[in-house]
Structure 1
């Protein structure tokens, strides 16, 4: 029982993404979407990926351990520099003011200019600010190697016009900047934008993808993606209850008639989000609905006489995928992956890794 992570699925997704025309800039932030930094990065590195993106310096140090010759880009603003220099990390420029303030630390550091086209997180917010950053880097002899953005509306419903405006803004700004500076790497398309084959992004050198690598899509179903994640638990008790009986804490569920219920040894304390109850779980290929809430350590299904103690319950897998729950509108796919606790037993298929962290069971 527990979680199975299929590293061969990650390999296959990487290969299929690259058939779209550009090499992968792999997003492995948050412990590689909570699938395990060491096994995921090692697998992708063995597959030839040489560009990785993370959020924090701590993550970058870990990636460098498993990908010694790769480009590792830190997207959060950096204020501590020893690891950057020692580990030869790439750093994103958060703003012109940040660049000027950190100038004394930047000799020999590979820098990426982030263009903020509408997310309002980090990056140059106007073309004039971006132009000033390029000019400052050139005047100071800094190593400005990358140009990038993030499209926050690429997977948003009913935001096609706004997304197109943001793509146009990046295309306009980046084209004019490229006329003034030679960038080694230009990366803009996140997973959702990768599917759009937008001619305005033809000058990009890489696709910067995260969730697609792990087999999931936040937009329409992508049939060629291979899910890398399965989660099974077991039935630990079965009860017959009468009409009017409550199940779980409180009175959130009251049996309308005599029912047979199964108790599962998994709950939100394990990272099984309450949104999961909106679709059934499967036992012996048969669907059974959740009843009551998902609690910290337990969940409940309404079952029939075929279900017995010890039966395997598929929470996520071939029948119900993370994307299926996402499309109920109650949770997104990255959220479901990241919520899961590593106190759940884990195992990896398709690789020769790994040394698990101390709080992981294999």
Structure 2
């Protein structure tokens, strides 16, 4: 399936049908818990419009973002019938905007809790909120003691409508770690004092832990995009394909250097192609000399350093007429997953996905049809 015109140097194709299938897979996995969707950072860099629409059409009604500006961007896409929870909670001074839009802030500290309660009193309104409990990650959340103090305050219920009580797993992607069970134990000890409030522990990795971790609401993120959060995850479909165009093909002689620093020196005649993909496009510089592109099932190793706008690959494994200037090679897709690239780059799939940047021409597959999406500055 070829994307439509106009011409472009690189193309990022997002399969929204696969996202919907992954949502259904995760929903089935955590049933009877309700499955939400984490779509922070512009849906992990892939474009909130198409992805949130696909999730809404798939039946998702609980959306999680990190910041108020993301919630404001999301609201017209998913409508007033969906609940939007802001994971980072309230920035100082944002209370009025959050309340007017009906967003659910996650109150992560005593300061945030006091500010939201104070605004509720001044507005003479009962406001929605979620409470996060720090059960051992030491990143965000009320201490268990602070949460218990809130639970024991009789004024809390008149000020806040608690929509969710949550915590976040530090080691969910390592199922055998005792820390997971210990965090769940600590969370349940506090949650028992909020008996009528829905509970949430499971992120993407937590969705593949035992059912005790699924609670009332699961909030997967990276798994929606086809990345297996644990080795045992099954049934997730890949979502992203990234292709880039060959700018030039050349043959070099033994002793010839390639790229900045001339880090690669040919030891024999070598057929090379320069590809329109660099670190300005989100392709990690660390892949120089060890990453690869693919074409017709053949791995084409990166040689030399990756530049801002280009990289060089060895195409000697292809027949002379198998590839030409102007053709595309695969960077992400059937031959090379996000996990493969992350492994070679010494990072994680989240880092690769969220860093892909705005220069690629963007396309979405919806109901089996490809259409142009936001194309950034692609040329």
Q: Does 2:102 align with 1:88?
A: yes
- Partner of 1:168, secondary structure, is helix
State which of 191, 198, 205 in structure 2 corresponds to 1:192: 205
Output one character per residue of 1:250-284: Cα deviation in whole Å (capped at 9) or x when no partner: 13222222211111011111111234554431112
TM-superposition CA deviations, 1:149-184 (whole Å, max 9, x none): 111211259x7122332222223322x2234xx11x
RMSD: 2.4
Q: How does 1:68-107 map to 2 (within 5 A)?
A: 68=79, 69-78=81-90, 79=92, 80-106=94-120, 107=125
Residues 348 and 46 (structure 1), Cα distance of their counterparts in 2 relative to 1, 3 Å cut = same
CA–CA distance in structure 2, aligned partners of residues 285 and 240 of structure 1 = 22
Consecutive unaligned residues of structure 2, counting only runs of 5 or more, are 1-9
Compute the TM-score of the two structures, normalised by the length of structure 2: 0.87
- In structure 1, runs of 5+ residues without a counterpart are none
Equivalent in the alignment of 1:168: 185
Q: Which residue of 2 aligns with 1:217?
A: 228
Match of 1:3 in 2: 12
For 1:213 and 1:12, the matched residues in 2 are separated by: 9
Cα deviation 1:103-150 (Å, max 9, x = unaligned): 22133321111011122222112x221111223453653212210111
The answer as to 2:129 corresponding to 1:111 is yes
Equivalenced residue count is 354
Pairing partner for 1:308 from 292, 304, 324: 324
Q: 1:13 to 1:342 in 2, by over 3 A?
A: same
Confirm or deny that 1:235 pairs with 2:229.
Answer: no
| Superposed displacement of residue 360, structure 1 | 5.9
| TM-score when normalising by structure 1 | 0.90
1:31–1:37 Cα contact (<8 Å) kept: yes
2:281: which partner in 1? Answer: 270
2:139 to 90, 110, 121: 121
Taking a change above 3 Å as real, the CA distance of residues 353 and 263 of structure 1, as seen in their structure-2 partners, is: closer
Would the alpha carbon gap of residues 194 and 337 (structure 1) be closer, same or farther in structure 2, given more than 3 Å must change?
A: same
**DSSP-derived class of the 2:307 partner:** coil
Secondary structure of the residue aligned to 1:235 is strand
Is the 1:91–1:109 Cα contact (8 Å) retained in structure 2? no
Distance in structure 1 (CA, Å) of the matches to 2:359 and 2:171: 34
Q: Give the Cα–Cα distance (whole angstroms) in 2 for the partners of residues 237 and 313 of structure 1.
A: 13
Question: Which residue of structure 1 lines up, in the alignment, with residue 3 of structure 2?
Answer: none
Partner of 1:337: 353
Question: 2: distance between equivalents of 1:74 and 1:9?
Answer: 25
Q: 2:263 is matched with which residue?
A: 252
